[in-house]
Amino acid sequence: MRTHRRYTDLPPDARGASAAVGNFDGVHLGHRHVLDIARDHARTLGAPLGVVTFEPHPRQVFAPDAPPFRLMNAEARAHRLEQIGVDALFELPFDADLANLTPGAFARQVLRDGLGLSHVVVGADFRFGKDRAGNAEVLESLGGELGFGVTAAPLLRDSGFDVSSTRIREALSDGAPERAAAMLGHLHRIEGPVVGGARRGRDLGYPTANMTLDGLHLPRLGVYAVTVDILTGPQQGTHGGVASLGVRPMFGENTPNLETFLFDFSGDLYGQHLSVGLRRFLRPEEKFDGVEALIAQMDRDSASARAILADSP
């Protein structure tokens, strides 16, 4: 997959895609439904499959003081889109200039003149342009005028409810990653580089890979059975593990992070990129009376996680 971070001066072979347009936070089954329609048009037109998205997420620009809400960072989104066969990712910088384009100017300057799209697919609830004045119906009309096709994909429903990023966040807040995975079509994953920590886990016999959660929606704090993909470095591969997502109350800290212990692994992961998939919530975060009690609970958590992963497909 090729990634482009502008819509001007693109190479000729980057133009002409059949593209899905949206934020694609989580790349859930509703997004996959939109992408599948764009893929069908790409095959019919003999065009590459593209995704047009925005970074930062527009909500971060319009409500910078709102609590973190993203299901995935830009790196994780790109990784997921590549895995499902997207040929070209247009990750456009979302700034004041782009936000102030009218719907007509966005369709003309960005979608037609800039990206040269042959077909555009959006969700039925898509809004765009200054003050969110444009919707799917407006885009269909503009596409007819400007020479590119437009399809508005109906919302995907699961058991009578719309599949949405909001519902997935609710499931994660409830400590129900299985429910989130059913709507995502994949495990909810936290991706990023391993950062330095206090190395307490090593002293306890449980060396962990530490990752920050900056900008991400926080699932329920606690301990999880996880599946870990090492994405970079000489030790790439997949491991089971157990992870603590929280603020480490035992040690008086208050910045949430993710600490993951990989089963049957030894080596240095500092600076490498991991993808940690939440499989099952094991227990809430808690404070122990002493180190021995903490280690005993970590032993129980590891045994529980191994049993769960052994029964997972």
Same-domain pairing of 111 and 11: yes
Task: For residue 298, give its domain range.
Answer: 187-310
User: Do 9 and 151 reside in the same domain of the chain?
Assistant: yes
- 226 in any annotated domain: yes
295 and 233 belong to one structural domain: yes
Q: Name the residue among 263, 173, 280 with its Cα closest to residue 223.
A: 280
**Cβ 22 vs Cβ 164: under 8 Å:** no
Name residues of the chain where pLDDT drops below 50: 250-252
185 Rama sector, left if φ>0, alpha if ψ -120 to 50, beta otherwise:
left
- Do 118 and 240 sit in the same domain of this protein? no
Domain-embedded: residue 178 = no
Question: What pLDDT score was predicted for residue 159?
Answer: 59
Q: Which two tokens stand for residue 201?
A: 């886990």
pLDDT at 251: 47
Q: What is the CATH classification number for the domain harbouring 36?
A: 3.40.50.620
- Same domain, yes or no, for 96 and 154? yes
The answer to whether position 164 is within a domain reads: no
Whether residues 197 and 131 share a domain: the answer is no
The reply to whether 102 and 231 lie within a common domain is no
Rounded Cα distance, 43 and 48, in Å: 8
Q: Could you read off the pLDDT of 166-182 as tens digits, one per residue?
A: 999 999 999 999 999 99
Measure the CA–CA gap between 309 and 148, rounded to whole angstroms: 47
- Based on the domain organization, do 150 and 194 belong to the same domain? no
| 113 and 197 part of one domain | no
Residue 156 has what pLDDT?
79
Strands 88-93 and 49-55: parallel
Tell me, yes or no, whether 177 lies in a domain: no
With 0.85 as the threshold, say if the pTM is over it. Answer: yes
- Shared domain for 261 and 131, answered yes or no, is no
User: Does residue 300 sit within a domain?
Assistant: yes
CB 92 within 8 A of CB 110: yes
Give the Cα separation of 147 and 150 in Å (integer): 10
* pLDDT at residue 131, as a whole number: 93
Any domain includes 182: no
> Edge to edge, what strands does the sheet with 222-230 contain?
188-193, 273-284, 222-230, 237-246, 257-262, 209-212
> Which residues are designated catalytic?
259
Residues 76 and 117 in one domain: yes
Quick check: is 106 in a domain?
yes
Domain count, the chain: 2
The Cα–Cα gap between 221 and 281 comes to 9
Cα–Cα nearest to 188, from 198, 206, 176, 200: 176
End of a domain among 158, 176, 207? 158
Is position 176 within any domain?
Answer: no
